[in-house]
Amino acid sequence: MGLKVQQVSQGQAARLAKLHQSCFQQSWSVAEFSRLLENQAVIGLMYLEDDRDIGLALLQSIAGETEILIFGIIPTRRGKGFGYGLLSGICDYAGTIDSKAIFLEVSNNNPAGINLYKGYGFEQVGLRKKYYADRSDALIYRLKLIKS
């Protein structure tokens, strides 16, 4: 099985939007992905299994920090370790641009996501009460990157 993380361009906004729709009930449009990818601080990553799209991440990197704006694995691949593979690809990318830390937000109603991030080494550093549309809290996590 061939797994790889690949950077995508603004021209692949439709591909990102389609995969995002597969991962989430409420998805972003092609125009939203295209607009975000116009920003030079934002990059898209696709996670591929034998050249099939199984995951995506949208990252924004500013002032030595990388924020995960979107992180998703298709439902048929969840709970099988693929999230760790995508996180590893994100860390590899962040290391190439000398990020010191990676940040993300996750709903307190998403125990699978929380377990994934904690298991990878992220630590909770903040909380936004009733942040999401469903009134759930956003837990803010950070992973410090160690330079070798």
What are the mean pLDDT values of the chain's consecutive 10-residue runs (148 residues total)?
87 93 89 94 95 95 96 93 95 94 96 95 96 93 86
pLDDT score for 27: 85
Distance CA 125, CA 88 (A): 21
Q: Is residue 123 part of a domain?
A: no
Q: Is residue 134 part of a domain?
A: no
pLDDT score for 102: 98
pLDDT score for 1: 62
Q: Is residue 28 part of a domain?
A: yes
Predicted model pTM:
0.92
Q: Which tokens in the block code for residue 89? A: 């690809």
Do residues 93 and 86 lie in contact, with contact meaning Cβ atoms separated by under 8 Å?
no
Domain, as residue range, for 55:
3-106
pLDDT score for 25: 82
Q: Is residue 145 part of a domain?
A: no
72 alpha carbon, distance to own chain's centre: 6
Distance CA 11, CA 14 (A): 8
φ/ψ region of 94 (left if φ > 0, alpha if ψ in -120 to 50, else beta) reads alpha
pLDDT score for 148: 56
Structural domain total, the chain: 1
Non-local CB neighbours of 25 within 8 Å, separated by 6+ positions: none
